[in-house]
Amino acid sequence: MARPTILITRKWPDQAQARAADSYEVRLNEDDRLMTTDELVRAAQGCDALLPTVTDRLDAAAINALPASIKIIATASVGYDHIDIAAAQARGIAVTNTPDVLTEATAEIAILLMLGAARGAPVAERMLRQGDWKSWSPTGMLGIEVSGKRMAILGMGRIGKSVARKARAFGMEIHYHNRRALDPGEAEGAIFHETADSLFKVADVLSINCASTPETRGLVNADRLALLPDDAVLVNTARGDIVDDETLIAGLKTGRPAAAGLDVFNNEPNFHRGYLELGNVFLLPHLGSATLSTRTAMAERALDNLDAFFKGNRPGDLVTA
C-alpha cells in the first residue's frame, strides 16, 4: 500500500521530522516560511493529512477548500481554536491535538511571567542594557512580592493544575474557576469559585489557563478588571482573545491590574502596540511550549495520532465540536 502523504506546514525539530519521513511521504517546509491559507490549500493538493500548528488558520472556508484527499488534520498544538472543528467534521475530516506534552513548559512560562511582571524585570533589565543603572537604591524599582499571596487560576485543566503546583512552592493559596469543581483529591486544597467575578475579587495573581472558546473570549473585560485587588498581577499563557486589549491597557494605566505578563496576544504576531508604551508589562512572543524537548514531543504526539489513524485505530487525541 502506498504510504500516506503528509503536509507538515512548519519546520519542527529534526528528530520529529526524521520520524515523519520514516513512516510517510512528507512535504516539509525547511525554510519555515509562514504559508497563507491559499498557499496551504495549494500545498495540500494530493496529501492525505495535514500536520499544521497554531499559526495556520483553518477556518471553514479553508477547510472547505482542502482537497478531498485530506482525511485528518493532526495539529501539533494543544489549542485548536485555529481550526473550525465543525467544518472539518462536516467534511468527515478527523482532527487531533497534542495535550499533556506542553503542560510543564507552559506552566513554567506562567511562573516566569508572574515573577517578571511582579518585580518589573523587563524595565530593570533594559536599564542595565542601556547603561542607566547608577546605584542600588533603597526605594528604587520596588516590585510586588507574591509569596504567600492568592493565586487565582482561570481554567483548572492540565496547565492550570501545573501552575497551581508550582505556585504552592511560593506558599500561595490556590483559588480557581472552572466549568466544574474538581474532585477534592485533584483540587489538592484549591478553592473553587462558581463565577469568574468571584475569582477576580481574590486574584492577587490571576493566571489565565482556559481554552479560547465562545464562552471565554473577552472574559477579561473592564467590569472584571475593576474587581481585582490592589497590586494584582495578571498572567496570560492561554490565548490573547480571552483578554480585551484596550481594556487591559487602560487597566494597566490605572493600576488594575498593577502589572501583567503576557505570552499570547490577539492577532499574533501583530499584537496591540499600546503594550509597548507601558512599563508594567512583561511581554514574550508565545514561548509557552518553546523548548526543544517540548516542541519535539508536540510533533511526535501529532505523529502518534496520525499513526493510529492510518492503522485504522481511533487516535488518542481526537477532538470534536
Q: Which is nearer to ligand DGY, 79 or 160 (CB)?
A: 79
Catalytic: which of 10, 177, 239, 301?
A: 239
* 96 binds ligand DGY per the rule CB under 6 A: no
Instruction: Record the cell numbers describing residue 125, joined without a space.
Output: 533589565
Catalytic annotation on 268? yes
Q: Which is nearer to ligand DGY, 9 or 289 (CB)?
A: 289
Stretch that binds ligand DGY, among 71-79, 83-91, 184-192, 266-274 (CB under 6 A): 71-79
Asked if 120 contacts 143 with a C-beta cutoff of 8 angstroms, the reply is yes
Catalytic: which of 82, 175, 177, 286?
A: 286
Q: Which is nearer to ligand DGY, 25 or 81 (CB)?
A: 81
- The pairing of beta strand 281-283 with beta strand 205-208: unpaired
Residues of span 42-61 touching ligand DGY by CB under 6 A: 54
Stretch that binds ligand DGY, among 59-67, 74-82, 86-94, 145-153 (CB under 6 A): 74-82
Smallest distance, ligand DGY to C-beta of residue 208, A: 12
Stretch that binds ligand DGY, among 55-63, 77-85, 157-165, 182-190 (CB under 6 A): 77-85
Taking the C-alpha atoms of residue 260 and residue 282, their distance in angstroms, rounded to an integer, is 6
Residues 101-120: x where in contact with ligand DGY by CB under 6 A, - otherwise, as a string? -x------------------
How far is residue 304 from each of residues 82, 251, 299, 308, 313, measured CA to CA in Å?
Answer: 21, 44, 9, 6, 11
Asked if 234 contacts 263 with a C-beta cutoff of 8 angstroms, the reply is no
The residues, any chain, with a CB within 8 Å of residue 236's CB and separated by 6 or more, are 113, 208, 220, 242, 243, 260, 261, 262, 263, 264
* 289 binds ligand DGY per the rule CB under 6 A: yes
* 251 binds ligand DGY per the rule CB under 6 A: no
Catalytic annotation on 286? yes
Instruction: Count the residues in the chain.
Output: 321
Q: Which is nearer to ligand DGY, 107 or 258 (CB)?
A: 107
Helix (H) or strand (E) holding 234: strand 233-236
Taking CB under 6 A as the criterion, the residue among 16, 44, 78, 113 binding ligand DGY is 78
Taking CB under 6 A as the criterion, the residue among 4, 52, 79, 257 binding ligand DGY is 79
**How many beta carbons lie within 10 A of that of residue 166, not counting itself?**
17
Catalytic annotation on 193? no
Place of cell 502523504: 5
Smallest distance, ligand DGY to C-beta of residue 302, A: 10
The residues, any chain, with a CB within 8 Å of residue 255's CB and separated by 6 or more, are 230
Taking the C-alpha atoms of residue 81 and residue 58, their distance in angstroms, rounded to an integer, is 9
**Residues of the shown chain interacting with ligand DGY in the complex, contacts defined by CB under 6 A:** 54, 77-79, 102, 288-289
* Catalytically annotated residues: 239, 268, 286
